[in-house]
Structure 1
Amino acid sequence: MGLVGVQENVDGNGDVLSEISLGTKPKYTRMDSDLDEAEEEDLPSSNKHDSKKYIMACAVFASLNSVLLGYDVGVMSGAIIFIQQDLKITEVQQEVLVGILSIISLLGSLAGGKTSDVIGRKWTIGLAAVIFQTGGAIMALAPSFKVLMIGRLLAGVGIGFGVMIAPVYIAEISPAVARGSLTSFPEICINLGILLGYISNYEFSGLPAHINWRLMLGVGLLPSVVIALALFIIPESPRWLVMQNRVEEARLVLRKISESEKEAEEKLKEIQVAAGLANAEKYEAKAVWKEILCPSPPVRRMLITGCGIQCFQQITGIDTTVYYSPIIFKNAGITETTQLLAATVTVGFTKTLFILIAIFLIDKVGRKPLLYASTIGMTVCLFSLSLSLAFLDHAKVGIVLAILSVCGNVASFSVGLGPICWVLSSEIFPLRLRAQASALGAVGSRVSSGIISMSFLSVSRAITVAGTFFVFGIISCSAVAFVHYCVPETKGKTLEEIEVLFHDKDDESGGNEVEMGDVERLMQKS
């Protein structure tokens, strides 16, 4: 009997389910709980409310790095106009300046997985803020394009750390019933940052060109101060603490984020088994990367889903819509700079509003229905935008249709593909692979974003802006098919239960059943 491992899960009735992995398809055997529920005393209801508030506060603070990313995306769309006037940069330099941040952030995302496994999730969040703040300060004070690029490179590394670690941290401290909403907080912060960037563009646009873009970039440093203070409030991830064999510290954190002592102990036992502390040695970094690069069928499916959804998030053109919205509206027929920036503020408000709607729906409706609505809506809006730019440019109806199409595109993105991308990539991987595999997915996202952003102006010159968005519409169609075939529904499932979803297509020939006594003996050992 090829016994590989044991994993506990708790069902809705509080009974313990023991997962026995036989190298084929996971089997379950129900066991009665050793704990008499009648003898268990839950914490007072006020403590339950406190735990929910505490988890939410942790999720908000952990997501603040995403404000930095969003602000950079939003503010650069307007700042680039004045940077070009002040520093006299070429069109190619504009593309490089805009797109290089996404490309270079892959270094931060790649390093973030290993770093978070070594120093912890919490301090990786702090490191991301420090690196970005350094790069942001250099950009705001840059006297030339070369110095500006140095700051941009540093900021990109910081953003790479931040976008990778925040969803992982939040997923590891969140209860299953609210994990979708809480893990969406980074996407909320990205949208909030974009909106703030647009507003900053509009507010400072009246100043001289050699001053306004520096103030626009400099304001983005403020969230880093809040992040520094937040590090004294948020706890370390209990799952990371268990991986480091710091079980007592993990227990203290779980008591803060659980509704009862019983729940905290059940979670701790479940995490211990999942981490392999009871039945196996800890995974070394080489072993983790070997499993990722030479994956088993279940891990391969996880990687296709996690990395694929990250790439589709970017290759459907959302960053170009945000970065180059003034150029899009200029092609539609809006000519005055103030009007262009005012139109982008409308886009920012729309994007932020619909991400808030997604937060309320993601754990009620589920991931997959929202992804269908999102990708189909984006497809319609991208084709509509292409039509307005190709046949109705500089006509009043064309301007209105272009603005509505851009707003509809960002709204559709925000209600599904935007937040759910990060939710899925942080919850589908097993604990031993989560940080590194999530980092790999973030790399795919950043590379895709960088390539699209850096090539938009050149491609638009070759096939027109309308043609470019028609191509994005075709890609969005394929995203609908990807969601249908490759994305499972994970609503309401624990992180450990989600792992089982990717085993369902394994060898259906079955395997030897495990007797009840074997299960009990193995569980007692754990």
Structure 2
Amino acid sequence: MSHVEHSSGQQDTGRQEAEQVELTDKGKRTIWTWASVIAVGGFLFGYDTGVISGALLFIKTDFHLSSTEQGAVVSLLLLGAMVGALGEGRVADSLGRRKVLALVGVIFLIGTAIAVFATGYVMLLVGRVVLGLAVGSASALVPTYLGELAPAQVRGRVLTLNQLMITIGIMVAYLVNLAFSSVQSWRGMFAVGAIPAIVILLGALIMIPESPAWLLTNDHTDKAQKVYRRIAGDEDGGQQLLEARQQEMEEEQHKSGEKVGWRGLFNKAVRPALVVGVVLAALQQFGGINTIIYYAPTIMQKTGLTASNSIYYAVAVGVINLLMTIVSLWVVGRMGRRKLLLISMSVMLVALAVMGLSFVASWGSVLSLVFMVLYIAGFAVGMGPLFWVLIGEIFPPNASATGSGAATAVNWASNLIVSQVFLTVVTTIGLGQTFWCFAVICVFALFFIGKYVPETKDRDFPEIDEDMQHRFGREAAPQEAESPSSS
């Protein structure tokens, strides 16, 4: 047996040992309680990105904002999110996941307070930047924290909490917008965000433990053992989970070898994965999704609806986004990534084309809403969640963190650009014509996915890499993707 086969066998044994641990009912309740508190970070991510859609209708009147200034109110949160996402990893590795989650709660509260009590346009922008720092940090921290805290046998289901809570946060934001629209209180819309922020802060301080993986990495084995004992529900099970996790971490370190830095992403062996990751990141945003999430009421208002009725219609967008995300979690493991992505982009293309026509031909608010809902359904079932799945699968182990970080940064940057220029472009060429521009981008996306994106379902990394290298006209060269220390 080769050394690689032996290592693989050891890792499989570690996983089997962990999966054989029968969690007690008390242990299951404990892990789901902790995970629910952590996933509130995902809820705040969704809430603070969605609440602006209704608030903007009244902010622009109170502060007499131009289209460019309205775009800045939306996009400054995204600028803060870029900084928060890029800086979170180093801070969380230094301080620990639990302390950083509490810090995220504090930053959310500070940003919310600045926004609620803003006396003018500039102060509101400051509040949005501070909220963005928290949103970006949460987007990077929550999946990591959940994945490290949950044992192998429930990890997949626990990780779905993040995506679900993001979409629930968006939907709740729309409902809050509707509730406050009757009194035209955008400050009230922002203020509600303080409630989940307080939940995160108190939960991190008094309810949830530190990530046992972080504790093991920082030589706090006794503390990690106590956490695993609570997860398993008994001492023997906790010891098994501890030993399995230690073995898994050792094997992952051996397989990944020396970590690849930013410059290493441009190595020939890693470059195809980098191209796929960053292009999908840009396409997810330049396909127009966040123009709908951020500006749905503004868009519907252009059909002649009042502000309150526009927000009411936007609630339908949030409901469909949530329901189709749930559908995606069910079908992604059955249909495969490529097929679902191609179906998703095809539906988005058709919806954007007819939605653009509905605004150009003035077909009315009902048809416009139908096409908008169709677009959201197409995105939520495929392109929305699958981008995050794929960037976790296409990079070699020693470049996974850096590669995922690069793709995430491009995603936030693309989000920033689209949200900043959307209203200005609409003013210049028209709403329907702007949606046709998004449709053209979807045509390119179909070409790119069909030609360059590999299938990753039920494949390990060497199989994924071989397919991807072939699509880029290269022969797979595993030795290039590995550092000398991993040979």
TM range (shorter): 0.7 to 0.9
Q: 2:180 aligns with which of 159, 180, 204?
A: 204
Distance in 2, matches of 1:382 and 1:157, equals: 32
CA deviation after TM superposition for structure 1 residue 246, in Å: 4.7
Deviations 1:359-411 (A, max 9, x none): 233334444443233222212211121121122x1x4xx43221111111112
- Percent sequence identity is 30
Deviations 1:388-445 (A, max 9, x none): 1122x1x4xx432211111111122111222222233345556654444333222111
Matches within 5 A, 1:52-451: 53-173=29-149, 181-207=157-183, 209=184, 212-231=185-204, 232-246=206-220, 249=223, 265-276=243-254, 288-292=261-265, 294-297=266-269, 299-331=270-302, 333-391=303-361, 393=362, 395=363, 398-426=364-392, 428-429=394-395, 433-451=399-417
Q: Tell me, yes or no, if the aligned pair for 2:57 and 2:298 is still in contact at 8 Å.
A: no
Q: How many residues align?
A: 470
Q: CA RMSD in A?
A: 3.6
Partner of 1:468: 434
Distance 1:279 1:184, change over 3 A: closer
Q: Tell me, yes or no, if the aligned pair for 2:287 and 2:442 is still in contact at 8 Å.
A: yes
Distance in 2, matches of 1:242 and 1:296, equals: 34
Partner of 1:458: 424
Gap runs ≥5 in structure 1: 19-32, 512-521
Matches within 5 A, 1:6-85: 15-16=9-10, 42-43=20-21, 45-47=22-24, 53-85=29-61
Distance in 2, matches of 1:310 and 1:367, equals: 15
Structure 1 stretch 214-223 or stretch 346-355: which is displaced more?
346-355
Deviations 1:273-303 (A, max 9, x none): 2224x996x75xxx633434x4351x33333
- Bigger Rg, structure 1 or 2: 1
Distance in 2, matches of 1:509 and 1:311, equals: 27
Q: Tell me, yes or no, if the aligned pair for 2:15 and 2:152 is still in contact at 8 Å.
A: no
Distance in 1, matches of 2:62 and 2:42, equals: 29
Distance in 2, matches of 1:216 and 1:461, equals: 27
Distance in 2, matches of 1:147 and 1:355, equals: 35
Deviations 1:55-99 (A, max 9, x none): 544443333222223222322111112112222222221111112
Q: Secondary structure at the match of 1:63?
A: helix
Distance 1:254 1:415, change over 3 A: farther
CA deviation after TM superposition for structure 1 residue 326, in Å: 2.0
Distance in 1, matches of 2:143 and 2:443, equals: 27
Partner of 2:464: 501
Distance 1:124 1:306, change over 3 A: farther
Distance 1:306 1:177, change over 3 A: farther
Q: Tell me, yes or no, if the aligned pair for 1:180 and 1:363 is still in contact at 8 Å.
A: no
Instruction: Select the structure that is richer in helix.
Output: 2
Distance 1:204 1:161, change over 3 A: same
Q: Tell me, yes or no, if the aligned pair for 2:345 and 2:379 is still in contact at 8 Å.
A: yes
Distance in 2, matches of 1:183 and 1:434, equals: 18
CA deviation after TM superposition for structure 1 residue 145, in Å: 1.0
Q: Tell me, yes or no, if the aligned pair for 2:256 and 2:397 is still in contact at 8 Å.
A: no
CA deviation after TM superposition for structure 1 residue 454, in Å: 0.8
Matched AA of 1:374: S
